[in-house]
Chain A
Amino acid sequence: MKKISITLTVNGQKKTVEVTPNERLIDVLRYRLDLRSVKAGCLKGECGSCLVLMNGKPVKSCLILAAEADGSEITTVEGLGSLNKPALIQKAFIEAFGYQCGFCTSGFILLGHWILENMPDASEEEIKEILNGILCRCTGYKQIIEAIKLAQKWKRERK
Protein backbone atom coordinates (compact mmCIF):
# COMPACT_ATOMS: atom_id res chain seq x y z
CA MET A 1 0.00 0.00 0.00
CA LYS A 2 1.59 3.20 -1.19
CA LYS A 3 1.76 6.18 1.12
CA ILE A 4 0.27 9.37 -0.23
CA SER A 5 1.29 12.84 0.78
CA ILE A 6 -1.66 15.19 1.13
CA THR A 7 -1.91 18.84 2.00
CA LEU A 8 -4.94 20.23 3.77
CA THR A 9 -5.69 23.71 4.92
CA VAL A 10 -7.30 23.02 8.26
CA ASN A 11 -8.86 25.92 10.11
CA GLY A 12 -6.66 28.25 8.11
CA GLN A 13 -3.41 26.36 8.65
CA LYS A 14 -1.62 24.37 6.00
CA LYS A 15 -0.89 20.79 7.02
CA THR A 16 0.92 18.12 5.07
CA VAL A 17 0.37 14.53 6.14
CA GLU A 18 1.48 11.16 4.81
CA VAL A 19 -1.54 8.89 4.64
CA THR A 20 -2.31 5.37 3.52
CA PRO A 21 -5.08 4.96 0.93
CA ASN A 22 -7.44 3.35 3.43
CA GLU A 23 -7.32 6.25 5.86
CA ARG A 24 -10.40 8.45 5.92
CA LEU A 25 -10.62 12.16 6.38
CA ILE A 26 -12.08 11.61 9.86
CA ASP A 27 -9.09 9.46 10.82
CA VAL A 28 -6.62 12.11 9.72
CA LEU A 29 -8.46 14.95 11.40
CA ARG A 30 -8.90 13.09 14.68
CA TYR A 31 -5.70 11.17 15.07
CA ARG A 32 -3.11 12.95 12.92
CA LEU A 33 -4.17 16.51 13.47
CA ASP A 34 -5.71 15.99 16.94
CA LEU A 35 -9.02 17.61 16.06
CA ARG A 36 -11.03 15.51 18.44
CA SER A 37 -14.24 17.47 17.91
CA VAL A 38 -14.71 15.34 14.81
CA LYS A 39 -16.52 12.31 16.20
CA ALA A 40 -17.39 8.92 14.81
CA GLY A 41 -20.90 7.72 15.60
CA CYS A 42 -21.68 5.27 12.82
CA LEU A 43 -19.01 5.39 10.07
CA LYS A 44 -21.86 4.99 7.66
CA GLY A 45 -22.96 8.53 6.87
CA GLU A 46 -26.08 8.30 9.01
CA CYS A 47 -25.33 10.26 12.17
CA GLY A 48 -23.19 13.16 11.03
CA SER A 49 -21.11 13.39 14.22
CA CYS A 50 -18.12 13.56 11.88
CA LEU A 51 -19.45 16.50 9.88
CA VAL A 52 -16.92 19.13 8.79
CA LEU A 53 -16.92 21.88 6.20
CA MET A 54 -14.85 20.98 3.16
CA ASN A 55 -14.25 23.81 0.76
CA GLY A 56 -17.15 25.53 2.46
CA LYS A 57 -19.58 22.66 2.07
CA PRO A 58 -20.86 20.39 4.82
CA VAL A 59 -19.61 16.82 4.37
CA LYS A 60 -19.53 13.66 6.44
CA SER A 61 -15.84 12.97 6.91
CA CYS A 62 -16.31 9.25 7.57
CA LEU A 63 -17.21 8.72 3.92
CA ILE A 64 -14.29 10.58 2.40
CA LEU A 65 -10.83 9.16 1.93
CA ALA A 66 -8.04 11.33 3.21
CA ALA A 67 -6.44 11.11 -0.22
CA GLU A 68 -9.59 12.53 -1.82
CA ALA A 69 -9.35 15.56 0.41
CA ASP A 70 -5.89 16.53 -0.83
CA GLY A 71 -5.75 20.25 -1.49
CA SER A 72 -9.00 21.07 0.23
CA GLU A 73 -9.88 23.54 2.93
CA ILE A 74 -11.35 22.03 6.07
CA THR A 75 -13.16 23.81 8.87
CA THR A 76 -13.92 22.09 12.16
CA VAL A 77 -15.61 23.57 15.17
CA GLU A 78 -12.17 24.34 16.66
CA GLY A 79 -11.73 26.75 13.78
CA LEU A 80 -14.87 28.77 14.41
CA GLY A 81 -14.01 30.43 17.68
CA SER A 82 -13.02 30.01 21.29
CA LEU A 83 -14.58 30.84 24.63
CA ASN A 84 -12.91 34.24 24.58
CA LYS A 85 -13.79 34.86 20.96
CA PRO A 86 -16.82 32.76 20.20
CA ALA A 87 -18.42 32.66 16.79
CA LEU A 88 -21.98 33.93 16.71
CA ILE A 89 -23.32 30.42 16.27
CA GLN A 90 -21.36 29.12 19.25
CA LYS A 91 -22.71 31.89 21.46
CA ALA A 92 -26.20 31.07 20.31
CA PHE A 93 -25.81 27.37 21.10
CA ILE A 94 -24.76 28.28 24.63
CA GLU A 95 -27.54 30.82 25.11
CA ALA A 96 -30.30 28.60 23.71
CA PHE A 97 -29.18 25.31 25.32
CA GLY A 98 -28.55 23.87 21.88
CA TYR A 99 -26.60 20.88 23.17
CA GLN A 100 -26.60 18.26 25.87
CA CYS A 101 -24.13 15.38 25.76
CA GLY A 102 -22.12 17.25 23.16
CA PHE A 103 -21.19 14.32 20.97
CA CYS A 104 -23.15 15.47 17.91
CA THR A 105 -22.74 19.15 18.75
CA SER A 106 -19.81 19.98 16.48
CA GLY A 107 -21.78 18.80 13.47
CA PHE A 108 -24.84 20.82 14.37
CA ILE A 109 -22.79 23.94 15.06
CA LEU A 110 -21.01 23.63 11.72
CA LEU A 111 -24.33 23.18 9.92
CA GLY A 112 -25.69 26.17 11.82
CA HIS A 113 -22.63 28.16 10.82
CA TRP A 114 -23.08 27.13 7.21
CA ILE A 115 -26.71 28.26 7.33
CA LEU A 116 -25.69 31.65 8.75
CA GLU A 117 -23.12 32.12 6.03
CA ASN A 118 -25.09 30.79 3.11
CA MET A 119 -28.77 31.06 3.95
CA PRO A 120 -28.96 33.69 6.69
CA ASP A 121 -32.68 34.11 6.18
CA ALA A 122 -33.50 30.41 6.07
CA SER A 123 -36.95 29.66 7.43
CA GLU A 124 -37.50 27.17 10.23
CA GLU A 125 -38.57 24.59 7.64
CA GLU A 126 -35.42 25.17 5.62
CA ILE A 127 -33.28 24.89 8.73
CA LYS A 128 -34.90 21.57 9.60
CA GLU A 129 -34.38 20.33 6.06
CA ILE A 130 -30.66 20.90 6.42
CA LEU A 131 -30.44 19.52 9.97
CA ASN A 132 -32.22 16.34 8.86
CA GLY A 133 -28.87 15.06 7.66
CA ILE A 134 -27.51 14.52 11.15
CA LEU A 135 -28.68 12.93 14.37
CA CYS A 136 -29.04 14.09 17.94
CA ARG A 137 -30.35 11.70 20.57
CA CYS A 138 -30.50 14.13 23.51
CA THR A 139 -32.12 17.41 22.60
CA GLY A 140 -35.13 16.57 20.49
CA TYR A 141 -33.66 19.20 18.11
CA LYS A 142 -35.89 22.02 19.30
CA GLN A 143 -33.25 24.00 21.16
CA ILE A 144 -30.79 23.40 18.31
CA ILE A 145 -33.24 24.98 15.90
CA GLU A 146 -33.85 27.78 18.39
CA ALA A 147 -30.10 28.37 18.66
CA ILE A 148 -29.76 28.73 14.91
CA LYS A 149 -32.73 31.08 14.75
CA LEU A 150 -31.24 33.13 17.57
CA ALA A 151 -27.96 33.44 15.69
CA GLN A 152 -29.87 34.50 12.58
CA LYS A 153 -31.61 37.18 14.60
CA TRP A 154 -28.33 38.44 16.08
CA LYS A 155 -26.80 38.52 12.64
CA ARG A 156 -29.71 40.55 11.26
CA GLU A 157 -29.55 42.98 14.16
CA ARG A 158 -25.84 43.55 13.66
CA LYS A 159 -26.33 44.57 10.06
Chain B
Amino acid sequence: MSVLVFRTTLPRFEYLRPKSLGEALELKAKYGGDAMILAGGTDLLVDIRMRAKKPKYVIDIKGVKELSELKYVEGRGLEIGSAVTLSEIERSKVVKEKFHVLWDAVRQLADFPLRTRATLAGNIANASPASDSAPALLVLGAEVELSSTRGTRKLPIKKFFKWVKQTYMEPDEMITRIFVPEPPRDSKGMYLKFTRISVEDLSVVGIAGLAANPKEPEKRIVRLAYASVAPTPVLVEEVEEIFKHDKPVKELIREAVEAVKKKTSPITDVRGTAEYRRHLIEFGTAYLLNRLLEVIE
Protein backbone atom coordinates (compact mmCIF):
# COMPACT_ATOMS: atom_id res chain seq x y z
CA MET B 1 0.00 0.00 0.00
CA SER B 2 1.17 3.50 -0.74
CA VAL B 3 -0.67 4.98 2.23
CA LEU B 4 -0.80 4.32 5.94
CA VAL B 5 -4.22 3.55 7.34
CA PHE B 6 -4.52 2.62 10.97
CA ARG B 7 -8.01 1.31 11.51
CA THR B 8 -10.20 1.98 14.48
CA THR B 9 -13.11 -0.16 13.33
CA LEU B 10 -12.78 -3.82 12.52
CA PRO B 11 -13.09 -4.81 8.88
CA ARG B 12 -16.07 -7.01 8.06
CA PHE B 13 -16.34 -10.75 8.59
CA GLU B 14 -19.05 -13.24 9.42
CA TYR B 15 -19.39 -14.46 12.98
CA LEU B 16 -20.14 -18.13 13.53
CA ARG B 17 -20.84 -19.72 16.86
CA PRO B 18 -20.99 -23.52 16.63
CA LYS B 19 -22.61 -25.35 19.53
CA SER B 20 -20.69 -28.57 19.13
CA LEU B 21 -17.24 -29.66 18.12
CA GLY B 22 -18.65 -31.45 15.10
CA GLU B 23 -20.28 -28.27 13.92
CA ALA B 24 -17.07 -26.30 14.46
CA LEU B 25 -15.05 -28.80 12.46
CA GLU B 26 -17.63 -28.75 9.66
CA LEU B 27 -17.28 -24.99 9.43
CA LYS B 28 -13.50 -25.19 9.42
CA ALA B 29 -13.67 -27.88 6.71
CA LYS B 30 -15.99 -25.71 4.66
CA TYR B 31 -14.12 -22.40 4.92
CA GLY B 32 -10.53 -23.54 5.55
CA GLY B 33 -8.06 -20.70 5.78
CA ASP B 34 -10.80 -18.09 5.31
CA ALA B 35 -12.10 -19.01 8.74
CA MET B 36 -10.22 -18.30 11.94
CA ILE B 37 -10.86 -19.66 15.37
CA LEU B 38 -11.82 -17.15 18.04
CA ALA B 39 -11.21 -18.40 21.55
CA GLY B 40 -10.11 -15.54 23.82
CA GLY B 41 -9.74 -13.08 20.98
CA THR B 42 -6.97 -11.16 22.69
CA ASP B 43 -4.54 -11.73 19.83
CA LEU B 44 -6.97 -12.32 16.98
CA LEU B 45 -8.94 -9.08 17.32
CA VAL B 46 -5.73 -7.04 17.41
CA ASP B 47 -4.49 -8.78 14.27
CA ILE B 48 -7.80 -8.25 12.52
CA ARG B 49 -7.87 -4.54 13.32
CA MET B 50 -4.27 -4.11 12.23
CA ARG B 51 -4.97 -6.07 9.03
CA ALA B 52 -2.37 -8.69 9.91
CA LYS B 53 -5.12 -11.29 9.58
CA LYS B 54 -8.04 -11.03 7.19
CA PRO B 55 -10.57 -13.74 7.99
CA LYS B 56 -13.86 -13.90 6.14
CA TYR B 57 -15.30 -16.01 8.92
CA VAL B 58 -14.62 -15.99 12.63
CA ILE B 59 -15.57 -19.18 14.45
CA ASP B 60 -16.19 -18.56 18.14
CA ILE B 61 -15.58 -21.83 20.01
CA LYS B 62 -16.53 -20.66 23.48
CA GLY B 63 -19.91 -22.25 23.09
CA VAL B 64 -18.38 -25.69 22.47
CA LYS B 65 -18.63 -27.65 25.71
CA GLU B 66 -16.10 -30.31 24.71
CA LEU B 67 -13.41 -27.66 24.44
CA SER B 68 -13.99 -25.99 27.76
CA GLU B 69 -12.63 -28.66 30.05
CA LEU B 70 -9.48 -28.66 32.13
CA LYS B 71 -8.92 -32.23 33.31
CA TYR B 72 -6.24 -33.95 35.29
CA VAL B 73 -5.81 -37.69 35.41
CA GLU B 74 -3.20 -38.94 37.82
CA GLY B 75 -0.42 -40.69 35.94
CA ARG B 76 -1.56 -39.42 32.57
CA GLY B 77 -1.41 -35.72 33.03
CA LEU B 78 -3.34 -32.64 32.05
CA GLU B 79 -5.84 -32.23 29.29
CA ILE B 80 -6.61 -28.61 28.48
CA GLY B 81 -9.43 -27.79 26.09
CA SER B 82 -8.79 -25.06 23.57
CA ALA B 83 -11.44 -22.77 25.06
CA VAL B 84 -10.00 -22.98 28.58
CA THR B 85 -8.83 -19.54 29.73
CA LEU B 86 -5.48 -18.76 31.23
CA SER B 87 -7.25 -17.63 34.41
CA GLU B 88 -8.71 -21.10 34.84
CA ILE B 89 -5.27 -22.62 34.45
CA GLU B 90 -3.78 -20.10 36.84
CA ARG B 91 -6.42 -20.91 39.46
CA SER B 92 -5.94 -24.67 39.18
CA LYS B 93 -4.22 -26.15 42.22
CA VAL B 94 -3.04 -29.16 40.27
CA VAL B 95 -1.35 -27.03 37.66
CA LYS B 96 0.33 -24.94 40.31
CA GLU B 97 1.59 -27.93 42.25
CA LYS B 98 2.40 -30.49 39.60
CA PHE B 99 2.97 -28.44 36.48
CA HIS B 100 4.61 -25.51 38.14
CA VAL B 101 6.54 -24.31 35.12
CA LEU B 102 3.32 -23.98 33.15
CA TRP B 103 1.61 -22.19 36.00
CA ASP B 104 4.59 -19.88 36.37
CA ALA B 105 4.51 -19.02 32.67
CA VAL B 106 0.76 -18.51 32.60
CA ARG B 107 0.71 -16.20 35.60
CA GLN B 108 3.31 -14.00 33.87
CA LEU B 109 1.51 -14.01 30.54
CA ALA B 110 -0.17 -10.71 29.57
CA ASP B 111 -2.14 -9.36 32.51
CA PHE B 112 -4.97 -10.22 34.83
CA PRO B 113 -7.92 -8.86 32.81
CA LEU B 114 -6.53 -10.35 29.60
CA ARG B 115 -6.04 -13.75 31.22
CA THR B 116 -9.75 -13.89 32.01
CA ARG B 117 -10.27 -14.19 28.24
CA ALA B 118 -7.06 -15.45 26.66
CA THR B 119 -6.54 -19.17 26.20
CA LEU B 120 -3.54 -21.47 26.23
CA ALA B 121 -4.44 -22.86 22.81
CA GLY B 122 -4.65 -19.33 21.44
CA ASN B 123 -1.23 -18.47 22.80
CA ILE B 124 0.15 -21.50 20.96
CA ALA B 125 -1.87 -21.10 17.76
CA ASN B 126 -0.71 -17.50 17.43
CA ALA B 127 2.82 -18.91 17.12
CA SER B 128 4.53 -15.79 18.35
CA PRO B 129 8.23 -16.34 19.05
CA ALA B 130 7.52 -14.47 22.28
CA SER B 131 4.87 -16.91 23.49
CA ASP B 132 5.33 -17.42 27.22
CA SER B 133 3.41 -20.66 27.45
CA ALA B 134 5.26 -22.40 24.62
CA PRO B 135 8.60 -22.80 26.43
CA ALA B 136 6.78 -24.27 29.42
CA LEU B 137 4.89 -26.71 27.23
CA LEU B 138 8.13 -27.58 25.46
CA VAL B 139 9.93 -28.60 28.64
CA LEU B 140 6.88 -30.51 29.75
CA GLY B 141 6.76 -32.40 26.44
CA ALA B 142 3.19 -31.39 25.71
CA GLU B 143 1.22 -32.58 22.71
CA VAL B 144 -1.19 -30.54 20.67
CA GLU B 145 -4.36 -32.29 19.55
CA LEU B 146 -5.41 -31.11 16.11
CA SER B 147 -8.83 -32.00 14.77
CA SER B 148 -10.60 -31.75 11.49
CA THR B 149 -13.44 -33.60 9.83
CA ARG B 150 -10.69 -35.84 8.47
CA GLY B 151 -9.82 -37.00 11.96
CA THR B 152 -7.63 -36.16 14.89
CA ARG B 153 -3.88 -36.18 15.27
CA LYS B 154 -1.46 -35.35 18.02
CA LEU B 155 1.56 -33.26 17.33
CA PRO B 156 4.37 -32.95 19.87
CA ILE B 157 4.63 -29.26 20.69
CA LYS B 158 8.22 -29.19 19.46
CA LYS B 159 6.95 -30.09 16.01
CA PHE B 160 4.12 -27.60 16.04
CA PHE B 161 5.82 -24.29 15.23
CA LYS B 162 7.02 -23.67 11.70
CA TRP B 163 8.18 -20.04 11.68
CA VAL B 164 7.23 -16.63 13.05
CA LYS B 165 3.44 -16.75 13.34
CA GLN B 166 3.26 -20.01 11.36
CA THR B 167 2.44 -23.52 12.52
CA TYR B 168 2.12 -26.96 11.00
CA MET B 169 -1.66 -26.88 11.34
CA GLU B 170 -3.60 -27.54 8.14
CA PRO B 171 -6.16 -24.91 7.04
CA ASP B 172 -9.05 -27.19 7.99
CA GLU B 173 -7.62 -28.08 11.39
CA MET B 174 -8.08 -26.55 14.79
CA ILE B 175 -6.53 -27.13 18.16
CA THR B 176 -8.97 -29.06 20.31
CA ARG B 177 -6.86 -30.02 23.31
CA ILE B 178 -3.41 -29.70 24.72
CA PHE B 179 -2.07 -32.74 26.55
CA VAL B 180 0.57 -32.22 29.15
CA PRO B 181 2.09 -35.47 30.41
CA GLU B 182 2.81 -35.95 34.07
CA PRO B 183 6.20 -34.35 34.71
CA PRO B 184 9.00 -36.45 36.23
CA ARG B 185 8.39 -37.19 39.90
CA ASP B 186 9.59 -34.45 42.27
CA SER B 187 10.56 -32.19 39.42
CA LYS B 188 10.85 -28.46 39.87
CA GLY B 189 9.85 -26.00 37.23
CA MET B 190 10.32 -22.32 36.70
CA TYR B 191 9.66 -19.73 34.02
CA LEU B 192 12.05 -16.83 33.92
CA LYS B 193 10.66 -13.91 31.98
CA PHE B 194 12.82 -10.94 31.12
CA THR B 195 10.88 -7.78 30.34
CA ARG B 196 11.50 -4.08 29.81
CA ILE B 197 9.43 -3.01 32.76
CA SER B 198 9.15 -5.25 35.76
CA VAL B 199 5.58 -6.25 34.99
CA GLU B 200 3.16 -6.73 32.10
CA ASP B 201 5.32 -6.90 29.02
CA LEU B 202 6.11 -9.23 26.18
CA SER B 203 9.16 -11.33 26.91
CA VAL B 204 12.47 -9.97 25.68
CA VAL B 205 13.70 -13.44 26.51
CA GLY B 206 11.72 -16.17 28.23
CA ILE B 207 13.26 -19.30 29.69
CA ALA B 208 11.36 -22.30 30.94
CA GLY B 209 13.28 -24.80 33.00
CA LEU B 210 12.37 -28.18 34.43
CA ALA B 211 14.61 -30.28 36.65
CA ALA B 212 14.28 -33.53 38.60
CA ASN B 213 16.73 -35.40 40.79
CA PRO B 214 19.42 -32.72 40.66
CA LYS B 215 21.84 -34.65 42.85
CA GLU B 216 21.80 -37.98 40.97
CA PRO B 217 23.40 -37.71 37.54
CA GLU B 218 21.95 -40.88 36.04
CA LYS B 219 18.41 -40.03 37.13
CA ARG B 220 18.80 -36.30 36.57
CA ILE B 221 16.44 -34.68 34.11
CA VAL B 222 17.03 -31.08 33.06
CA ARG B 223 15.20 -29.38 30.25
CA LEU B 224 15.32 -25.83 28.95
CA ALA B 225 13.19 -24.03 26.38
CA TYR B 226 13.14 -20.45 25.20
CA ALA B 227 10.94 -17.65 23.93
CA SER B 228 12.03 -14.64 21.85
CA VAL B 229 15.42 -16.00 20.87
CA ALA B 230 14.59 -17.59 17.51
CA PRO B 231 11.81 -17.51 14.89
CA THR B 232 9.88 -20.00 17.01
CA PRO B 233 9.94 -21.00 20.66
CA VAL B 234 12.75 -23.54 21.02
CA LEU B 235 13.53 -26.55 23.19
CA VAL B 236 17.27 -27.06 23.49
CA GLU B 237 17.28 -30.83 23.51
CA GLU B 238 21.04 -31.15 24.05
CA VAL B 239 20.64 -29.85 27.59
CA GLU B 240 18.96 -33.02 28.84
CA GLU B 241 21.88 -35.14 27.60
CA ILE B 242 24.49 -32.83 29.09
CA PHE B 243 23.07 -33.16 32.56
CA LYS B 244 23.19 -36.93 32.47
CA HIS B 245 26.94 -36.66 32.93
CA ASP B 246 28.55 -36.91 36.31
CA LYS B 247 30.55 -33.73 36.39
CA PRO B 248 30.65 -30.75 38.74
CA VAL B 249 27.41 -28.81 38.41
CA LYS B 250 29.06 -25.56 37.38
CA GLU B 251 30.81 -27.33 34.57
CA LEU B 252 27.54 -28.78 33.37
CA ILE B 253 25.94 -25.38 33.55
CA ARG B 254 28.72 -23.98 31.38
CA GLU B 255 28.22 -26.76 28.85
CA ALA B 256 24.48 -26.21 28.85
CA VAL B 257 24.91 -22.49 28.27
CA GLU B 258 27.14 -23.23 25.30
CA ALA B 259 24.57 -25.66 23.89
CA VAL B 260 21.84 -23.07 24.26
CA LYS B 261 23.94 -20.40 22.56
CA LYS B 262 24.37 -22.72 19.58
CA LYS B 263 20.66 -23.43 19.27
CA THR B 264 19.44 -19.84 19.50
CA SER B 265 19.66 -16.95 17.05
CA PRO B 266 18.39 -13.79 18.73
CA ILE B 267 17.75 -10.67 16.70
CA THR B 268 17.66 -6.96 17.41
CA ASP B 269 14.20 -5.49 17.50
CA VAL B 270 12.31 -2.75 19.25
CA ARG B 271 12.25 -4.79 22.47
CA GLY B 272 15.97 -5.37 22.76
CA THR B 273 19.24 -5.83 20.97
CA ALA B 274 20.59 -9.22 19.91
CA GLU B 275 23.58 -8.51 22.14
CA TYR B 276 21.34 -8.05 25.16
CA ARG B 277 19.37 -11.15 24.33
CA ARG B 278 22.59 -13.15 24.11
CA HIS B 279 23.53 -11.81 27.51
CA LEU B 280 20.17 -12.89 28.92
CA ILE B 281 20.54 -16.30 27.32
CA GLU B 282 23.86 -16.74 29.08
CA PHE B 283 23.17 -15.18 32.45
CA GLY B 284 19.51 -16.14 32.54
CA THR B 285 20.18 -19.75 31.71
CA ALA B 286 22.95 -19.92 34.28
CA TYR B 287 20.79 -18.31 36.92
CA LEU B 288 17.84 -20.57 36.20
CA LEU B 289 20.01 -23.69 36.33
CA ASN B 290 21.59 -22.57 39.58
CA ARG B 291 18.11 -22.19 41.02
CA LEU B 292 16.70 -25.44 39.65
CA LEU B 293 19.72 -27.43 40.69
CA GLU B 294 19.54 -25.89 44.12
CA VAL B 295 22.94 -24.24 43.98
CA ILE B 296 21.35 -21.00 45.02
CA GLU B 297 18.06 -20.06 46.66
Contacts and interface: CB of A to CB of B under 8 A. Distances in A.
Contact of B113 (A22, A60, A67): A60
Contact of A58 (B40, B116, B199): B116
A43 B15 contact: no
B12 A58 contact: no
A59 interface: yes
A22 B10 contact: yes
A16 interface: no
Interface in B91-126: 110-114, 116-117
Which residue of A48, A68, A130 has the most chain B CB atoms within 10 A of its CB atom? A68
A57 B112 CA distance: 10
Interface residues of B, number: 29
B46 A63 contact: yes
A133 interface: yes
Nearest to B111: A133
B14 A134 contact: no
B117 A134 contact: no
Contacts, number: 86
A22 B45 CA distance: 10
Interface string A27-67: 10000000000001001110010010000011110111101
B41 interface: yes
Contacts of B40: 63
Nearest to A128: B199
Nearest to B17: A67
B2 interface: no
Contacts of B12: 1, 20-22
Contact of A45 (B8, B10, B42): B42
Interface residues of A, number: 32
Contacts of A63: 40-42, 45-46, 114, 117
Nearest to B44: A63
B241 interface: no
B111 A24 contact: no
A48 B117 CA distance: 14
A85 interface: no
A68 B62 contact: yes
A132 interface: yes
A138 interface: no
Contacts of A45: 42, 46, 110, 114
Interface of A: 1-2, 4, 20-24, 27, 40, 43-45, 48, 51, 57-60, 62-65, 67-68, 111, 128-130, 132-134
Given A67-B17, A132-B200, 4 more contacts: A20-B12, A24-B45, A132-B112, A133-B113
